[in-house]
Chains A and B, each alone.
Chain A
Amino acid sequence: MMSSPILRTANGIIFPLTLLFAFYMALKGHNFPGGGFIGGLIAAVALMLFRMSHGRDAMTRLMPIHPRVIVAAGLAIATLTGLFPMIYGPFFSVEQEAMPMLRSFAPYVNLGVGEPVHMPSALFFDLGVLLVVIGVSVGMIVRLGEEIAPDEEEVAQA
Chain B
Amino acid sequence: MVMIAVFAPVTLGLATLWLPREWIERRMAVAVAGPALAFVLLLSIAVGASDHLGAGKDAHHGDTATAFGSEHLTTGTLNWMPSLNINFAFLTDGLGLFFALLVSGVGVCIFLYARGYFGREGPTSADDLYRFYPTIGFFTTAMLGVVLADYTILTLLFWEMTSISSFLLIGWDRYDKKAVKLAMQAFFTTGLGGMGLFGGVLVFGNATGNIVEGGIWRWSQMLEHSEALQTALLNITNNPQLMWAFVLMFIGAGTKSAQFPFHYWLPGAMAAPTPVSAFLHSATMVKAGVFLVGRLFPVFAALPLFPQLIIPFGAATMLYGGVVALQQHDLKRIFAYTTVSQLGLLMAMYGLGAIDFEFVKDGKTLTAAAIDFDVTQIANHAFYKAPLFIAAGAIGHVLSRDITQLNGAFYKHKAICGTMMAAALGLAAVPGTISFQAKELFLYAVMHAAKVSPWLWIVMGMTIITAVCNVAICVRVWTTLLGLKGGMSEADAPEAHHDHHHEHPHEHGLLANLIWFPGAAIVSLQFLGGLFPGAFWGPIFGGFEQTAATGNYFYKGVPNLWYILTHAFESLPFWISMFCLVAGFFVGRSRLGRGAVKDFADHIYPVMYWLSVTGGGRCFRVVQTGNLKHYLLFVLGAMLLGFGWAVQLDISNGGGMLDAVSIEAARFFEYWPGILIGFIACLTAVLIPTTDSRIVRVVFLGATGFAVVALYLVYQAPDLALTQLMFEIISVILFVIVLRLLPKEKRGRDAGKLWRVPIAVAVGLAFGWMTLVAASNNRGNGAFADDGVTPLVEPSNPHAEPLGVTLAQHSYGLKTDEFGNTKLETAMSEGPDGVSERGGGGTNIVNVILVDFRGFDTLGEICVLGLAAMGVWSMLPHRRRKSDPKREVETDYPQDAIEPPLDDLGQGVTA
Asked if B843 CB lies within 8 Å of chain A CBs, one says yes
Asked if B55 CB lies within 8 Å of chain A CBs, one says no
Contact pattern, A 72-102, Cβ under 8 Å of B = 1, otherwise 0: 1011001100100000000000000010011
A74 to B718, CA, bound (A): 25
Asked if A141 CB lies within 8 Å of chain B CBs, one says yes
- Residue among B79, B733, B834, B858 making CB contact with A129, cutoff 8 Å: B858
Asked if A14 CB lies within 8 Å of chain B CBs, one says no
- Interchain CB contact under 8 A, A136 and B865: yes
- Residue among A38, A45, A122, A145 making CB contact with B855, cutoff 8 Å: A122
Contact pattern, A 127-140, Cβ under 8 Å of B = 1, otherwise 0: 01100110111011
Chain A residue contacts of B836, Cβ below 8 A: 106
Contact pattern, A 42-55, Cβ under 8 Å of B = 1, otherwise 0: 10110010000000
A68 to B874, CA, bound (A): 11
Tell whether A35 pairs with B847 under 8 Å between CB atoms, given A41-B727, A78-B862.
yes
Tell whether A42 pairs with B832 under 8 Å between CB atoms, given A68-B873, A141-B733.
no
Chain B residue contacts of A128, Cβ below 8 A: 862
Residue from B79, B741, B846, B855 having most chain A Cβ neighbours under 10 A? B855
Chain A residue contacts of B756, Cβ below 8 A: none
A130 to B199, CA, bound (A): 41
* Nearest chain B residue, comparing its CB with the CB of A36: B851
- Interchain CB contact under 8 A, A136 and B842: no
- Interchain CB contact under 8 A, B841 and A68: no
Tell whether A122 pairs with B844 under 8 Å between CB atoms, given A48-B730, A136-B868.
no
- Residue among A108, A125, A147 making CB contact with B876, cutoff 8 Å: A147
Tell whether A122 pairs with B726 under 8 Å between CB atoms, given A33-B844, A104-B841.
no
Chain A residue contacts of B856, Cβ below 8 A: 82, 101-102
* Nearest chain B residue, comparing its CB with the CB of A139: B869
Asked if B592 CB lies within 8 Å of chain A CBs, one says no
- Interchain CB contact under 8 A, B727 and A144: no
- Residue among B727, B830, B844, B869 making CB contact with A140, cutoff 8 Å: B869
Asked if B859 CB lies within 8 Å of chain A CBs, one says yes
- Interchain CB contact under 8 A, B872 and A104: no
A124 to B903, CA, bound (A): 56
Chain A residue contacts of B866, Cβ below 8 A: 71-72, 74-75, 132, 135-136
Chain B residue contacts of A29, Cβ below 8 A: 844, 847
- Residue among A72, A139, A141 making CB contact with B873, cutoff 8 Å: A139
Interface residue SS majority, chain A? helix
- Residue among A30, A41, A120 making CB contact with B730, cutoff 8 Å: A41
Asked if B729 CB lies within 8 Å of chain A CBs, one says yes
- Write the nearest CB–CB distance from A60 to chain B, whole angstroms: 11
Chain B residue contacts of A82, Cβ below 8 A: 855-856, 859
A116 to B858, CA, bound (A): 28
Chain B residue contacts of A143, Cβ below 8 A: 872-873, 876
- Write the nearest CB–CB distance from A143 to chain B, whole angstroms: 6
- Write the nearest CB–CB distance from A88 to chain B, whole angstroms: 15
Which residues of chain A from 136 to 158 have a CB within 8 Å of any chain B CB?
136-137, 139-141, 143-148, 151, 153
Chain B residue contacts of A38, Cβ below 8 A: 719, 722-723, 726
Which residues of chain B from 846 to 885 have a CB within 8 Å of any chain A CB?
846-848, 850-852, 855-856, 858-859, 862-863, 865-866, 868-870, 872-873, 876, 879-880
Q: How large is the interface on A (under 10, 10 to 19, 20 to 34, 35 or more residues)?
A: 35 or more
Chain A residue contacts of B870, Cβ below 8 A: 68
- Write the nearest CB–CB distance from A8 to chain B, whole angstroms: 18
A115 to B834, CA, bound (A): 13
- Interchain CB contact under 8 A, A144 and B734: yes
Which residues of chain B from 187 to 202 have a CB within 8 Å of any chain A CB?
none
A76 to B483, CA, bound (A): 63
A105 to B279, CA, bound (A): 48
Contact pattern, B 291-306, Cβ under 8 Å of A = 1, otherwise 0: 0000000000000000
Asked if B740 CB lies within 8 Å of chain A CBs, one says yes
Asked if B628 CB lies within 8 Å of chain A CBs, one says no
* Nearest chain B residue, comparing its CB with the CB of A131: B862
- Write the nearest CB–CB distance from A41 to chain B, whole angstroms: 3
- Interchain CB contact under 8 A, A120 and B855: no
Tell whether A98 pairs with B79 under 8 Å between CB atoms, given A32-B844, A38-B723, A104-B841.
yes
- List residues of A whose CB falls within 8 A of some B CB: 25, 29-38, 41-42, 44-45, 48, 67-68, 71-72, 74-75, 78-79, 82, 98, 101-102, 104-106, 108, 115-116, 118, 120, 122, 125-126, 128-129, 132-133, 135-137, 139-141, 143-148, 151, 153
9 closest pairs, A vs B, by CB?
Answer: A106-B841, A41-B726, A30-B842, A122-B851, A35-B847, A33-B718, A136-B869, A102-B855, A106-B836
In addition to A102-B852, A115-B832, A132-B866, 19 A-B residue pairs with Cβ atoms within 8 Å of each other are A29-B844, A30-B840, A33-B722, A34-B847, A35-B851, A38-B723, A41-B730, A104-B855, A116-B832, A125-B851, A125-B858, A128-B862, A129-B862, A133-B862, A135-B869, A144-B876, A147-B737, A147-B876, A148-B740
Sample (14) of A-B pairs whose CB atoms are under 8 Å apart: A29-B847, A33-B719, A36-B850, A38-B719, A41-B727, A68-B870, A68-B873, A104-B840, A115-B832, A122-B842, A122-B851, A122-B852, A129-B862, A139-B872
